[in-house]
Amino acid sequence: MSSDAPPPLHERVLGLFEPTLLLVMAISHYIQVCIEAIKRGEILAPITQTAKLRDEAFARFWIAFTTSRPGPPPPTNEPTQIQPSSLIPPLLKTASGIVLDIGPGTGSQMPLLKSPAIRAIYGAEPCTGLHKALHSKAVAEGLGTKYHILPCSVAPSELLPALDATDTGVTDSHKANGDGIFDTIICVRVLCSVPELDRTMRELYALLRPGGKVLVMEHVVNPWRTAKGSMAARIAQGVYQILGWSFFIGDCCLDRDVEGALRGAADGDGGWESVAIERWMGWSALPHISGVLIKKSK
C-alpha cells in the first residue's frame, strides 16, 4: 500500500538533500570528461567546446543513473511512501496509436511500450550520446522496427524535419491537410529541460490528433503556497539552481511550472477535453505531477 502522506520530519529534512547526490554525480562526470579532453591535448576544450563536453558528460551521468536505480520495493501491507517511478507503469499502459516519446534517454521505460495498440514510436532525444544505448534497448525489447530515434528536440522546427527523414510517411497528412500527427505524447521527467516550454507545448498540442492524449509524469516547482507544499523545499530548489543544477544536469530546471505550461497549451483551442493530474510529494525538493490530458475530439 502506498501513501502520499508526508513522512516524519527527519525524513522530510533528509529529502531536501536528495538532489545533492544527483548534482555531485553529474559534476563528477563533467569534470572527468573535461580532464579526458585536456589529456587528449584539447586544452581549451572546456571553454571552446563546452556544449559538446556537457552533452557527453550528461550522457554518461544519465546512463549511470538509470542503470543504478534500485527496483521497486517488495510488496507489503504496511503503508509506504509513494515513489514517482511507481506512477509510470499504469500511465504508459494507456499509450496507443502513433506515439511521440519525448526525451527517452536510455529507453528505461521502453518495456512499458510494447502494447499492440501502439503502431509506431518516435523517440525525440537531442542528446546523441544516449542513442547507442537507446537503440540497443529498442532491439532488446523487440521494438527495433517500431521505435524510431530522432536526433532532435521537440521544437517543431527540428521535430518535423527529423520525422520526414524517417521516410515513414508519418507527416504526410499533416503537410497536406494540417492534420495532427500523434495519438499519444509521452512526457516522463523531461519537460524540465525543454526550451521555451510554454511555446513548445502549444506547438506540440497542434501536432496532437483530436482525441489524442498527453501522458505526463514530471517533477515540478514546489507548490509552496498551497497546504501540501513546503517553503523550505522551494528554497532548496532555488539553491540547487544557483549551484549549477541546470548546467550539469542537461538543462533541467527544478523550479519550472510544468503543470501551468501543460494546462495552458490548449487555451487557444478552448481548453482540453479533460485534465486528470495528481500531485505528489509536495513536501520535497522533487515534487511530482502525474496524469493524462486529452484533446477535444472533433
Residue-range domains of the chain with CATH: 84-294 (3.40.50.150)
Note the pLDDT of residue 72.
47
- Cα 196 to Cα 45, 80, 85: the distances in Å are 28, 37, 26
How many whole angstroms separate alpha carbon 83 and alpha carbon 135? 28
Note the pLDDT of residue 102.
97
Note the pLDDT of residue 104.
95
> With 80 as the cut, is the pLDDT of residue 291 above it?
yes
Note the pLDDT of residue 1.
41
How many whole angstroms separate alpha carbon 204 and alpha carbon 191? 12
- Position 7 confidence tier, pLDDT thresholds 50, 70, 90: confident
Note the pLDDT of residue 69.
61
Burial of 74 (0-12, 13-18, 19+ CB in 10 A): exposed
Taking residue 264's Cβ as centre, other Cβ atoms within 10 Å add up to 16
Burial of 205 (0-12, 13-18, 19+ CB in 10 A): buried
How many whole angstroms separate alpha carbon 267 and alpha carbon 252? 25
Cell of 245: 543544477
How many whole angstroms separate alpha carbon 18 and alpha carbon 13? 9
How many whole angstroms separate alpha carbon 244 and alpha carbon 26? 10
| Greatest mean pLDDT range, 3-7, 81-85, 177-181, 231-235 | 231-235
- Position 12 confidence tier, pLDDT thresholds 50, 70, 90: confident
- 116 contacts 42 by C-beta, under 8 angstroms: no
Nearest-CA neighbor of 268 among 203, 216, 182? 203
pLDDT tens string 96-106? 999 999 999 99
pLDDT tens string 191-217? 999 999 999 999 999 999 999 999 999
SS3 170: coil
pLDDT tens string 116-167? 999 999 999 999 999 999 999 999 999 999 999 999 999 999 999 999 999 9
- 230 contacts 283 by C-beta, under 8 angstroms: yes
SS3 43: coil
